[in-house]
Amino acid sequence: MAASFEMLAFIGGIGTTELIVFGIIAVILFGSRLPSVARSLGKSIVEFKKGMSDLENEVKSSVYSEPSGRVGYSDHSEPSAPRFEPPKDSADVPESEVAHAK
């Protein structure tokens, strides 16, 4: 049980020894390209932070802003569907329409 806590101790913080090991590994892997890799990594981090800031501002503005232009029930004066008209009696329909319907 104590061994698992010692393994998790590294997650708590990065010390000087870990930074030196990380630096040596970075030099071995990237060599002369290390400055350009570090520069592109820095630009990526800046763009990510800028995007997160924009997203955070957009969410805050939408949450804390007043609702705009809600549609109330009184705004609708006419129904959108056509009116229902019951079928006409055959006595009220002229003969020409009855013959045409057949």
Two tokens at 31?
């060599």
pTM exceeds 0.75 for this model:
no
- Asked if residue 73 is part of any domain, the answer here is no
Judge contact between 10 and 18, C-beta under 8 A: yes
- Could you tell me which residue, 35 or 68, shows the higher pLDDT? 35
- Could you tell me which residue, 42 or 61, shows the higher pLDDT? 42
How many domains, in total, are found in the chain?
1
The residue type at 69: G
- Asked if residue 78 is part of any domain, the answer here is no
Judge contact between 34 and 26, C-beta under 8 A: yes
How far apart are the C-alpha atoms of 99 and 102, rounded to whole Å? Answer: 5
- Asked if residue 84 is part of any domain, the answer here is no
- Asked if residue 20 is part of any domain, the answer here is yes
* The pLDDT value given to residue 1: 47
H runs (alpha helix) in the chain? 2-12, 16-30, 34-64, 95-101
Q: What pLDDT band is residue 39 in, cutting at 50, 70 and 90?
A: very high
Mean pLDDT of the residues in the chain: 77
- Asked if residue 1 is part of any domain, the answer here is no
